[in-house]
Chain A
């Protein structure tokens, strides 16, 4: 190789001299030129071919061989020796259960064998070595600093930024405005005005006067459906109502003797022994779906806010601050059967709070 690239200190050999060196000597000389001093170096097996050396070599070879076998086994399993298609338990070939563990395990084994073998090779067979390298870190030497600073300053003077204040300020204006362009372009393209139109408003849900209450599968909800203490998740019976993230509503039929202390102006929101609250937790928007019918408590599993249905879904524990909004209920008769409808939308925004909310 070419020898006098970079005139590092210590690299004083001519090419002819360097060519006479053994690879190890050349390495040492090169290392020294790089400020690396090999202070200790010895073969782990100074006498070639001892039993211990052969044993070490054999062990590593066996590990590599296991890695080879594992990789081959992986390929065999992967290519169809074990089926991978999922089958319902009790139907068809259930051996697919072994497919993922097998290929993961075999891949892991194969990789582990190569990794362990290579590490052992390094630890057992490579020469034991302790090298010390000069760091040369921190700031450059003073001359280099002065020359570097001079280069910067001279370029700066050539530009004449200090003198040409008109150029400086106009370029600053143009550059500053241009720098805002990508930000404006991205945000401008993505921005959407909140609360525009009823379907895009944080204050409204798809419920409105006369909208029927339906189950997730679209069936209408009747007061005969629930036993006392029962609860159902219902949705507005409009297009996309079950998919709307704000519409899940808890319809609760109180147990005999339970009564809800209503909020001001909402005394008539219930219907018979039924009440309906928004299911969306007022804290972070998870569905508050765990209902303990004896105590009338609702728990949100995300951050454990608890609401007391009997106190009009007031938060009684956890981080939530606002009661669950209450849906005004009514019923209509269809074919001689009563079905629930909403009397109006929720009187307030449902779900987590936000800045614009009073």
Chain B
């Protein structure tokens, strides 16, 4: 074999040696690999020259924290959605042509329905494993949206969106917005009674846009609702257009993450200029890869064991029917809630109408998403913070931001709960009108209250951290002083001054609050959830063994690169 790779220094001097040549240590092994792996590596390297670039990526360091897994869950659910969705496309027929059902599900025998609905029934009843795939797809979609939202909360509350990561914040917001569209398009496809009702509301929302409303509806539906084209159009939007954009944005989101490297929490040895943790290969990659399977496992188990969207119970879409307690998928719920709470305010001007639907379904989400998108820039402007940040903040250390976040979540939460206020009214036997009024009042009153409470809680937590740093940890040991006073003994965390006050300053990291949290600063010294993972004696024995092993290791350093 000859190689033309000029960078391959190992070629020079040695030259090709015959297979009969003596086994020489060193360069020769790389010229003429003998193992299949070696040959494959040689083949690839000669053509791509990626040894250096690949090594750089394999060595990439990722920090470890449970809250960093939310984005991973979102990414993995997206992959699961593509896998399960591809399966579904082989059987789904996105046509609104009318057929008479004569499939396996006898209760709907002879019912007139669209081919879209009929093929969804076929997937559920006649395609082997079709129902489980449908349900995995639906559960993964719910998980995708939930994981993105919680990931957004994590990024917000820890300040991970600050410079230099504002772009990724915006991309993330785009992903959530497109996820909403994608989810709505997806669950509209079966053309059942529930999704048809949702589409009718979507048509009414388009109609409500001032000036161009009717034009928008006629453009999207190809005429008056429902028309005959909407399912086909939503299908291509759902399986090609939006997933394509989503995949591109996810790629950009990940590329920025790789370029900018992950943020991490402050701690001993953590600096703005470095990132610490485990290398991509092998440890982090293995954990992340394993986690993909775990997320998939949860979706598969839910898809098998927890029924979702049983469209055969709803029946085909019929504009004259609706079921009570109609609920959209949870991520659309906040829009349903805002629509229910918004008062009946209609603007009529010079023979024209701006319907009440326009404000809670288009203007309000527009404001919500714009505020979210603008937040990193607003915060930088108001705090005059122009520097780049790679270390995260604890939510308590930024009470205003944490309060604003809690306020936004409360606002969103009231809308979401109001999206199901009829179910709550029914379950607890409350008047529906009372629920609506409770929602309207809560929407205005709760967020500021939550802001104030969160702000106070943050300050309290800060104060407690400072107190422990100054006075030490409460030991629970009560001491009676000679003059009769009872005091609790405090364990200082470090050196104390003449007054017994601690000298440690707050460093933006968790402060141990209990005696058994003392030990190494980063992790509790005894690990395990229900009981310690290892007995202390074991640890000592292992440490002793470690010392012995270190010396024996030295001897084995001699071993060669395995061919």
Binding site for B on A (CB under 8 A): 1-6, 8, 14-16, 19-23, 25-26, 30-31, 34, 36, 38-39, 42-43, 46-47, 78, 84-86, 88, 100-112, 114-119, 121-123, 126-127, 129-135, 137-138, 187, 190-195, 199-202, 216, 233, 235, 242-248, 279-280, 283-287, 289-290, 299-306, 315, 317-322, 351-358
Q: A4-B7, A352-B204 are in contact. Are A303 and B339 (CB under 8 A)?
A: yes
Interface pick from B371-379, B402-410, B468-476, B545-553: B545-553
- B218 partner, pick from A22, A135, A194, A300, beta carbons under 8 A: A194
| 8 Å CB interface, B166-214 against A | 197, 200-201, 203-205, 207-214
- A23 partner, pick from B210, B220, B225, B561, beta carbons under 8 A: B561
- Nearest residue in B to A186 (C-beta to C-beta)? B219
Is A319 within 8 A of B340, CB to CB? yes
Is A245 within 8 A of B297, CB to CB? no
Q: How far is the CB of B328 from chain A (nearest CB, A)?
A: 10
Q: How far is the CB of A188 from chain B (nearest CB, A)?
A: 10
| New A-B pairs, 17, CB < 8 Å, besides A107-B304, A285-B200, A319-B357 | A46-B550, A108-B304, A112-B294, A112-B301, A115-B291, A115-B293, A118-B293, A121-B290, A122-B282, A135-B272, A135-B275, A192-B222, A216-B318, A247-B320, A301-B422, A302-B201, A302-B336
Is B125 within 8 A of A119, CB to CB? no
Is A318 within 8 A of B344, CB to CB? yes
Is B261 within 8 A of A133, CB to CB? yes
- B214 partner, pick from A117, A194, A216, beta carbons under 8 A: A194
Q: How far is the CB of A83 from chain B (nearest CB, A)?
A: 10
Bound complex: CA A303 to CA B109 (Å): 32
Is B204 within 8 A of A122, CB to CB? no
Residues of B within 8 A of A107 (CB): 132, 297, 300-301, 304
Residues of A within 8 A of B343 (CB): 319
Bound complex: CA A138 to CA B360 (Å): 41
Residues of B within 8 A of A299 (CB): 432
Q: A202-B224, A245-B225 are in contact. Are A301 and B356 (CB under 8 A)?
A: no
Is B324 within 8 A of A42, CB to CB? no
Q: A2-B9, A104-B301 are in contact. Are A202 and B51 (CB under 8 A)?
A: no
Is A131 within 8 A of B553, CB to CB? no
Interface string of B37-50 (1 = CB under 8 A from A): 00001000100010
Interface pick from B54-62, B86-94, B488-496, B504-512: B54-62
Is A358 within 8 A of B353, CB to CB? yes
Binding site for A on B (CB under 8 A): 5, 7-10, 25-27, 29-30, 41, 45, 49, 51-53, 55-56, 59-61, 104-107, 125-126, 128-129, 131-132, 135-136, 164, 197, 200-201, 203-205, 207-215, 217-220, 222-226, 259-261, 269, 272-279, 282-283, 286-287, 289-305, 318-326, 336, 339-340, 342-346, 348, 351-357, 360, 388, 390, 421-422, 432-433, 436, 545-546, 548-550, 553, 557-562
Bound complex: CA A286 to CA B196 (Å): 10
Residues of B within 8 A of A16 (CB): 26-27
6 A-B pairs with least C-beta separation: A104-B304, A115-B293, A108-B301, A46-B549, A248-B320, A5-B52
- A100 partner, pick from B132, B220, B345, beta carbons under 8 A: B132
In the complex, 9 of the A-B residue pairs with CB atoms within 8 angstroms, ordered by the A residue number, are A14-B9, A127-B283, A133-B274, A138-B164, A199-B224, A245-B226, A283-B357, A306-B433, A354-B214
Is A192 within 8 A of B274, CB to CB? no
Is B8 within 8 A of A2, CB to CB? yes
Is B324 within 8 A of A301, CB to CB? yes
Q: How far is the CB of B443 from chain A (nearest CB, A)?
A: 14
Residues of A within 8 A of B276 (CB): 39, 130-133
Is B321 within 8 A of A289, CB to CB? yes
- A358 partner, pick from B209, B298, B352, beta carbons under 8 A: B352
Bound complex: CA A121 to CA B225 (Å): 56
Is B325 within 8 A of A108, CB to CB? no
Question: Which among A25, A86, A322 has the greatest number of chain B C-beta atoms within 10 A?
Answer: A86
Q: How far is the CB of B50 from chain A (nearest CB, A)?
A: 8
Is A36 within 8 A of B59, CB to CB? yes
Residues of A within 8 A of B353 (CB): 353-358
- A114 partner, pick from B30, B293, B355, beta carbons under 8 A: B293
Bound complex: CA A302 to CA B357 (Å): 13
Bound complex: CA A321 to CA B320 (Å): 21
- Nearest residue in A to B27 (C-beta to C-beta)? A19
Bound complex: CA A122 to CA B289 (Å): 10
Residues of A within 8 A of B10 (CB): 2-3, 15, 19
Q: A2-B10, A301-B322 are in contact. Are A200 and B340 (CB under 8 A)?
A: no
Is B286 within 8 A of A193, CB to CB? no
Is B219 within 8 A of A15, CB to CB? no
Is A191 within 8 A of B218, CB to CB? yes
Q: A132-B61, A191-B215 are in contact. Are A104 and B320 (CB under 8 A)?
A: no
- B279 partner, pick from A22, A43, A131, A356, beta carbons under 8 A: A131
Q: A5-B51, A321-B356 are in contact. Are A126 and B321 (CB under 8 A)?
A: no
Bound complex: CA A118 to CA B284 (Å): 11
- A285 partner, pick from B41, B203, B344, beta carbons under 8 A: B203
Is B319 within 8 A of A354, CB to CB? no
Question: Which among B9, B299, B348, B355 has the greatest number of chain A C-beta atoms within 10 A?
Answer: B355
Is B549 within 8 A of A103, CB to CB? no
- Nearest residue in A to B296 (C-beta to C-beta)? A111
Is A301 within 8 A of B323, CB to CB? yes
- Nearest residue in A to B279 (C-beta to C-beta)? A131
- Nearest residue in A to B343 (C-beta to C-beta)? A319
Q: A16-B27, A101-B304, A352-B208 are in contact. Are A135 and B129 (CB under 8 A)?
A: no
Bound complex: CA A233 to CA B348 (Å): 31
Is A117 within 8 A of B325, CB to CB? no
Residues of A within 8 A of B291 (CB): 115, 119
- Nearest residue in A to B436 (C-beta to C-beta)? A304
Residues of B within 8 A of A5 (CB): 7, 49, 51-53
Bound complex: CA A40 to CA B485 (Å): 49
Residues of B within 8 A of A201 (CB): 224
Is A46 within 8 A of B553, CB to CB? yes
Bound complex: CA A123 to CA B340 (Å): 49
Question: Which among A101, A195, A246 has the greatest number of chain B C-beta atoms within 10 A?
Answer: A101
Is B304 within 8 A of A117, CB to CB? no
Residues of A within 8 A of B546 (CB): 42, 46
Q: How far is the CB of A301 from chain B (nearest CB, A)?
A: 5
Residues of A within 8 A of B132 (CB): 100, 103-104, 107
Bound complex: CA A357 to CA B326 (Å): 29
Bound complex: CA A286 to CA B336 (Å): 13
Question: Which among B8, B293, B323, B388 has the greatest number of chain A C-beta atoms within 10 A?
Answer: B293
